[in-house]
Amino acid sequence: MKKMKKIIAGVFINFLIANFAIAENRIEGIDITKEFDVPFSDNELGIGVSENEKIMSNDTGKLIDNFLGGNSIHNGGFSSLPMIQGLSDDRIKIKIDGMDLIASCANHMNAPLSYSDPVNIKNISVLAGLSAVDQGGDNIGGVIKIDTVKPIFSVDENQIFSGQFGTKYKSNNKTISANISLNTADQDTALSYFGSYVKAENYYAGGTFKDAGLAASDRGWLDSDEVGSTAYKNQNHQVSFSKVIDNEIYQVIAAYHDSPYENFDNQRMDSVGNKNYQLNLSQKGEYEWGKLTSRIYVDDTNHKHNFGPDKQYTYNNSSGQSYGMPMEADGITAGLAVDTEIFLNDQDTLKVGSEIQYYQLDDTWASNSGEGMMTGNAFLNINNGKRNRFDIYGQLDSLWTENWITSLGARLGIVQTDSDDVHGYNQTDSMSSNQLADSDTFNASKRKKTDENIDISLLTRYNMEEDSSIELGYSMKTRSPNLYQRYTWSTWTMAANMNNLYGDGNGYVGNIDLEPETAHKIGLVLNHQDDNKNWRIKINPYYTYISDYIDANVIANRGDGYRNLKFDNQTATIYGLDVGADMHLFQTLNFGNFNLLSKFNYQKGRNTDADTDLYNMMPPNLTLAINQNVGSWNNSLSMLLVDKKDNVNSTRQERETAGFTKFDFVTSYQWESVSIIGEVENILDKSYADPLGGEYLGQGATMSTGITRANGTQVYAMGRSFNVALSYSF
């Protein structure tokens, strides 16, 4: 019995170390060759996120750029959308402290990553599409896992108190931000608080990209290099409580996020209020037979949408005047998840688990906007939308020899969606609004859908020698459409324009008959480190075939040059190559160590039914960084080379963009408990169109057809910025 207790205690300590201590190493390093139990099982593909980058960033989605195969899509100031090997947004499962979150906005302004301040992230892992089924279902593009709570318990009788205050400033858009974390713990109980605040004004591109002038007829002046509708403000608060009882750890995390405004330069509306509440209760235990994790969570989002300060607010139309266009999306997510690992014998671990998720959404546009077709009733864009999910999986991870591991898994997901009857502002078809006809058609149709989705993962790794391995895998992943893709119903240009998940300026209409999309992916990862450990390389080619890929067909060519599109299932293929390498260059007595880090990313996506390239594919790009460190002084000079984008989606009339080169420099120094970071972003003040920036809709009469495609442009990225951050730890 005593021996058993010892074993359990030992295993439990290992469990704690595995779950909490290693997390710190991962975020600090630029390690690309970490070894994990299961092939493709963690951010092995990452080149990592440095502590400095977390501190300097206000946008968690942007950190995905640091991972091999990862790119971020421009979407507001702090809600960039993740893309992994060509698949983006909610094709990727986001798990924050184990919670599976869903965006409740017709433009995905409140995408899940927008709720975690980068400073508060303890661990981030990016799992490419070849993730094992135990990592999550309902995705075809991979899984991003973020941990924000990492309790550290006292090793003796003394209570621990620790904390950090941080503040930073960015010159380009006058970003001011501050954050605070406070922690206290004894041997088995830990309590922590994190709070952050950030406020940013519009940013400026590296040069002129449009005419200077009034943002709109009833708005203020914008300079020719000022990117309209990019200001934002938010605050986050999180309290967590962790308690160890015997061999289990219990955790309660409560979080509140409040953004009074976040403007969008590639959407026709802005967020004018987003409040989010989260409650997350979990238990993790390590037993003689294996491990068990269970979790229950609730997420409540209230999102408000209108024209921000750079978009026209007052419209004069034939039937009168309208003021603004208030919209509101209310989403509730509740989930229950249980994951177990059963140690069958020395070689085999069986992983079984289940997940139940409830999601409800109302997206309503109020009628108090003046006169004409937008009065009468509230416009019910989505009325009592439901997307409920039940998942179950089993996976067998086997160690065949010391060097050969396989992981075989299958997952069944049942997704049920529905929506109640809808109506427009006004039961009329006049002025081609079709509000009556479209809502009648929608209400007469059968809307309840049940999808049975099957996922399979077959993965293997063989370690050739200590630091060299080969990984090979196949996965089949299935994802059901989101509610905006299935249940938005209005073909009226004004309404369709507001339902846009892509930042491309077009209008979208839902399709009740959309099938789930299924991705078959094969991939190979080669890892090699040289014998002297001076350099290492990771090479990851992949191919993905997606049946029923959710894309869109043109239903109307409009006078303003944009299009109205209806969602449809098509066929797509994506192939690509990601390469990461790092190398120790040399060491000098006075200047310390010099390392070179590089990341190459290539992807090519085709819609083979429509015979066009997939939308928002990142053009070939290469990052090279030289890092130098001597004592507690670190410097990093990096160069990003991006090729021109000429593989574009003709259905959406995606714009081509020119190639560019950008340089950044970061320096940091630590004195005992104080650290300072200085950064020059875009050193040469390069003016360039962001290949994943979308269509510039940051100013003007955006409601209907007030902006023309012919006079439009791609969104331009931020020009030079001098940034400084200070932090104090105790």
Nearest approach in angstroms of CB 229 to Cu ion is 12
Stretch that binds Cu ion, among 76-84, 97-105, 293-301, 436-444 (CB under 5 A): 97-105
Tell me how many residues contact Cu ion (CB under 5 A).
Answer: 5
Nearest approach in angstroms of CB 108 to Cu ion is 8
Of 75 and 251, nearer to Cu ion (C-beta) is 75
CA atoms within 13 A on the CB side of 489: 29
Residues paired with residue 245 on neighbouring β-strands, in sequence order: 248
Of 55 and 109, nearer to Cu ion (C-beta) is 109
Nearest approach in angstroms of CB 500 to Cu ion is 10
Of 108 and 411, nearer to Cu ion (C-beta) is 108
- Give the DSSP H or E segment for 2: helix 2-16
Stretch that binds Cu ion, among 99-107, 244-252, 425-433, 578-586 (CB under 5 A): 99-107
DSSP designation for 135: G
Of 490 and 603, nearer to Cu ion (C-beta) is 490
Stretch that binds Cu ion, among 36-44, 45-53, 301-309, 697-705 (CB under 5 A): 301-309
Of 328 and 654, nearer to Cu ion (C-beta) is 328
The string of DSSP codes covering 48-110 is ---HHHHHH-S-GGGGGGGBTTEEEE--TTT-PEEEETTEEGGGSEEEETTEE----STT-TT
Nearest approach in angstroms of CB 261 to Cu ion is 11
Residues in the chain: 730
Of 121 and 269, nearer to Cu ion (C-beta) is 269
Q: How far apart are CA 421 and CA 25, in angstroms?
A: 52
Of 54, 553, 134, 580, nearest to 340 by C-alpha is: 134
Q: Where are the alpha helices (DSSP H) in 284-346?
A: none
Nearest approach in angstroms of CB 93 to Cu ion is 21
Amino acid in the structure at residue 686: K
Q: How far apart are CA 411 and CA 205, in angstroms?
A: 46
Binding to Cu ion (CB under 5 A): which residues in 267-296?
A: 271
Nearest approach in angstroms of CB 263 to Cu ion is 11
Residue 551 burial (C-beta neighbours within 10 Å; 0-12, 13-18, 19+) = buried
Which token pair is 248? 């289990």
Measured between alpha carbons, how far is residue 417 from residues 149, 388, 551 in Å?
33, 6, 19
Q: How far apart are CA 360 and CA 362, in angstroms?
A: 7
Residue from 105, 121, 216, 231 in contact with Cu ion (CB under 5 A):
105
Give the rounded distance of the alpha carbon of 179 from its chain centre: 22
Of 204 and 484, nearer to Cu ion (C-beta) is 484
Stretch that binds Cu ion, among 264-272, 396-404, 681-689, 699-707 (CB under 5 A): 264-272
Nearest approach in angstroms of CB 641 to Cu ion is 34
Q: How far apart are CA 245 and CA 508, in angstroms?
A: 52
Of 109 and 205, nearer to Cu ion (C-beta) is 109
Of 26 and 305, nearer to Cu ion (C-beta) is 305
Which token pair is 514? 């959309």
DSSP designation for 706: -
Nearest approach in angstroms of CB 362 to Cu ion is 14
The answer to the question of residue 389 lying near Cu ion (CB under 5 A) is no
The answer to the question of residue 109 lying near Cu ion (CB under 5 A) is yes
Task: Work out whether the CA dihedral 434, 436, 440, 442 comes out positive or negative.
Answer: positive
Stretch that binds Cu ion, among 76-84, 136-144, 298-306, 685-693 (CB under 5 A): 298-306
The answer to the question of residue 111 lying near Cu ion (CB under 5 A) is no
Stretch that binds Cu ion, among 4-12, 31-39, 297-305, 472-480 (CB under 5 A): 297-305
DSSP-derived 3-state class of residue 64: helix
Site string for Cu ion, 213-252 (x = CB under 5 A): ----------------------------------------
Of 230 and 601, nearer to Cu ion (C-beta) is 230
Amino acid in the structure at residue 411: R
Of 503 and 605, nearer to Cu ion (C-beta) is 503
Question: How crowded is residue 467: how many other Cβ atoms within 10 Å of its Cβ?
Answer: 15
Residues paired with residue 29 on neighbouring β-strands, in sequence order: none
Residue from 199, 305, 311, 449 in contact with Cu ion (CB under 5 A):
305
The residues of the shown chain that bind Cu ion, judged by CB under 5 A, are 105, 107, 109, 271, 305
